[in-house]
Structure 1
Amino acid sequence: MAIKNAFYAQSGGVTAVINATACGLIETARANADRIGKVYAGHNGIIGALREELIDTSLESDATISALKHTPGGAFGSCRYKLKNMTENKREYERLIEVFQAHDIGYFFYNGGGDSQDTAYKVSQLSEKMGYPITCIGVPKTVDNDLPFTDNCPGFGSVAKYVAVSIREAGLDIASMCASSTKVFVLEVMGRHAGWIAAAGGLAAEQEGQPPHVIIFPEIHFDRTRFLKKVDESVKKYGFCCIVASEGAQYEDGRFLADAGTTDVFGHTQLGGVAPMLANMIKEALGYKYHWATSDYLQRSARHVASATDVDHAYAVGKSAVEFALAGKNAVMPIIVRNPGETYSWSIGEAPLSQVANQEKKMPIHYISDDGFGITDECREYLMPLTLGENYPPYKNGLPDYVQLQNQMVAKKLDTDFEL
């Protein structure tokens, strides 16, 4: 049986540990060179396959690939590009198969969230029909932690750690100034429909009165009156109030507080600005001086404070993806399984892409406190292990020493270019 090459692509918003997944995948493929050929990476994700812009990772040294494990961002480039519905227009999927066939690619590893798992599943189905079967393995990644089946998503644990650290440190700052200055601080975090990241801020509060005093979840309808009352009570009781607010906070009718009036390429409402909105609301109603911040890309790129558990998870799903493919598995995704017991431990399982695709896992309601503004002990027990451990990158001249790849392209073999 001829040895086939592999194609790997990074999709959607990157994380502090997505390159650790790439490292695990490429190193495992290299360790099985007698069964799998070169690993080509898509330049800017799936767009690289459509445009036949393939990066030859075999030209990178073992040391460089190893350094991916501690480097944030997407080393090969990612993208927010959703393939069209296959029933309406399957030309894009056919193009993928043509490129794969031209470069003798028999394995497709797609590292992303729900939309990416849907794409991998569709490619596995269409490739069979086109007579050039591709082994397709979805590889989980999303800071939102909203993929089903897996206990958690690689990328989330490090964001959770960053948010908890940030609100604890900012809380100490505000507490030291609240007697004569700022009394309210609002930190806006990611999370469109699922409040996992916002919940992680709750880890910072280990004792009564410690921040955050208020958490705004997408799962709990925003009530202006109740919110302002909670803020006012916190300021009067503790001298200050720290708030962690999910960008996906919404009213009872489903409107986002921070609806910018535009949509992204996936058709999702463009969000951003919930922090200044809440801060101004507090200023107008209560008169308190405030500051606000948006963690934005900082939360997902902060490799310097990554969770060691998250790094291990990320590497493991990349390694397992190759092992699954070589074991003959297809249209599946490696998942993280939390083992029973008082001490945290985990293993790798699998889930079918047909059931993972386009699904969204929200926060269980029992993870949110009765008043809707905090987390429960059960939620804390779930979150805490995911933030454990430190895995610092090497430093040079006082700054993290991250790697940059050559990203040399493979020569194109098809006569025609593809218009997106």
Structure 2
Amino acid sequence: MKGNVIVGQSGGPTAAINSSLAGVYRTAKDRGAGKVYGMLHGIQGLLQERYIDLSEYITTELDAELLKRTPAAFLGSCRYKLPEIHEDRDVYDKIFEILEKLNIEAFIYIGGNDSMDTIKKLSDYAIITGFKTRFIGCPKTIDNDLALTDHTPGYGSAAKYIGTSVKEIIRDSFCLEYSKGLVSIIEIMGRNAGWLTGAAALAKGEDCSGPDLIYLPEVAFDIQKFGDKVRQILTKKSSAVIAVSEGIRLDDGRYVCELGQSIDFVDAFGHKQLSGTANYLASYIAGDIGCKSRAIELSTLQRSASHCASRVDILEAYQVGGAAVKAADEGDSGKMVVIQRLSDDPYQSGTEVKDVHKIANDEKLVPRAWMNEDADYVTDEFVNYVRPLIQGDVSPVMVDGIPRHLFPNPMTDGK
């Protein structure tokens, strides 16, 4: 590798996103890159010429290990949608002027669906203009909804946290008895894909019965049937624990959370901000049945709980970061690194690259066959798919009883 590398992070962060950043940095340096720059707040920050030299922050192996264990996006993230090339070429000209000034040979973008849209557009513009920089996507999303890859870095750690938290909530729900019962509704991230919510089933084991119901957004939600199911459960036990995706919808397409409040915020990609699904359903159950109910939103804890990270996830995140640099160095562009599952027992995986045009703006949903007939729980096939991804632990570096993260944070720095 003769030139420099620039890397950015985009979209919602994960507990493993910085492990991919560490993989990009280490592999780029090992392959002879002069400098490895980090965009501050992704492509949006690059347009403002905000970037850092990562060698000023990763100076020792301990720094690299701390980075792997640091949640959230070390470089800062963004949700910035590039215009279509024919709509605003000036934006692209500015980006490519900056890349040329920095002598960028490889542009690596760590992110999910919307980030792969960025890679697609930039690589297309490079082809049109004959620009030599190579553009590679590095997968990241707790939603696990990227096409053509078995799973995405970040998902395993989020699934581990969800399974653990649901199990602890189930334990807590049996502490007190109420005359008409207790219903706990746990709201889990997932707009269109239910991979995260399905992970609630991991709580089930020899010492735990698991959640009573699990609702994914892939199948329309029926409030009347939901109420009937809860009523049936409370005739047999004193408490019920239910996991629901934030994005569950009615037959008419309305989000359940819209029934309780209007959704005012829409991001650059047209995504509505979803919140309040569990609150609405808890109020509905309390009014319909007259029992005590509570709503629990795991919210950003799902993606920031690095103390509960999966070792498999952290290792694979590091590997895909390295694989992205390797692919660019060997001449690939307009591609995304994907993970192949080679074996379940023992679990083994590998990486390859796929055309980003077949990935961007697509979504991988939970197969209907991986849900039961009533679509209120997941099957063993789902659990068997997820379980290998949550294995192993990554011990935090503890200082005064609290995990230490890589510091200083470069958020306010930049050229």
Same fold judged by TM-score > 0.5? yes
Give the C-alpha shift of residue 128 in structure 1: 2.9
Q: 1:341 to 1:116 in 2, by over 3 A?
A: closer
- Equivalent of residue 44 in structure 2, options 38, 43, 47: 47
Q: In structure 2, the residue corresponding to 1:339 is in which secondary structure?
A: strand
Q: Which residue of 2 aligns with 1:196?
A: 195
Q: Which residue of 1 aligns with 2:176?
A: 177
Give the Cα–Cα distance (whole angstroms) in 2 for the partners of residues 143 and 169 of structure 1.
21
Pairs within 5 Å for 1:4-83: 4-33=3-32, 36-60=33-57, 61-62=59-60, 63-83=62-82
Judge conservation of contact 1:123–1:134 (CA < 8 Å) in 2. Answer: no
Instruction: Give per-residue Cα distances to partners, 1:172-221, cap 9 Å, x unaligned.
Output: 11012135586111111100000000000011123698231011110111
Q: Which runs of 5+ in 2 are unaligned?
A: none
Q: Which residue of 2 aligns with 1:417?
A: none
Judge conservation of contact 1:124–1:133 (CA < 8 Å) in 2. Answer: no
Give the Cα–Cα distance (whole angstroms) in 2 for the partners of residues 182 and 393 of structure 1.
39
Pairs within 5 Å for 1:148-187: 148-179=147-178, 183-187=182-186
- Equivalent of residue 289 in structure 1, options 276, 292, 301: 292
Instruction: Give per-residue Cα distances to partners, 1:12-62, cap 9 Å, x unaligned.
Output: 1100110000011101111122xx221111111111211111111121213
Give the C-alpha shift of residue 247 in structure 1: 0.5
TM-score (norm 2): 0.95
**Residue type of the alignment partner of 2:46:** A
Pairs within 5 Å for 1:20-419: 20-33=19-32, 36-60=33-57, 61-62=59-60, 63-179=62-178, 183-206=182-205, 210-259=209-258, 260-262=262-264, 263-340=266-343, 342-405=345-408, 407=410, 411=415
Give the Cα–Cα distance (whole angstroms) in 2 for the partners of residues 388 and 378 of structure 1.
17
- Structure 1 vs Structure 2 CA RMSD: 1.7
**Residue type of the alignment partner of 1:388:** Q
**Residue type of the alignment partner of 2:339:** I
Give the C-alpha shift of residue 130 in structure 1: 2.3
Give the Cα–Cα distance (whole angstroms) in 2 for the partners of residues 209 and 315 of structure 1.
33
TM-score (norm 1): 0.93
**Residue type of the alignment partner of 2:177:** C
Give the C-alpha shift of residue 340 in structure 1: 3.6
Name whichever of 187-196 and 261-270 sits farther off.
261-270
Sequence identity (%):
37
Judge conservation of contact 2:69–2:405 (CA < 8 Å) in 1. Answer: yes
Name whichever of 46-55 and 401-410 sits farther off.
401-410
Moved over 4 A (4+): 179-182, 408-411
Give the Cα–Cα distance (whole angstroms) in 1 for the partners of residues 181 and 35 of structure 2.
57
Give the Cα–Cα distance (whole angstroms) in 2 for the partners of residues 277 and 214 of structure 1.
17
| Aligned length, in residue pairs | 408
Q: In structure 1, the residue corresponding to 2:217 is in which secondary structure?
A: coil
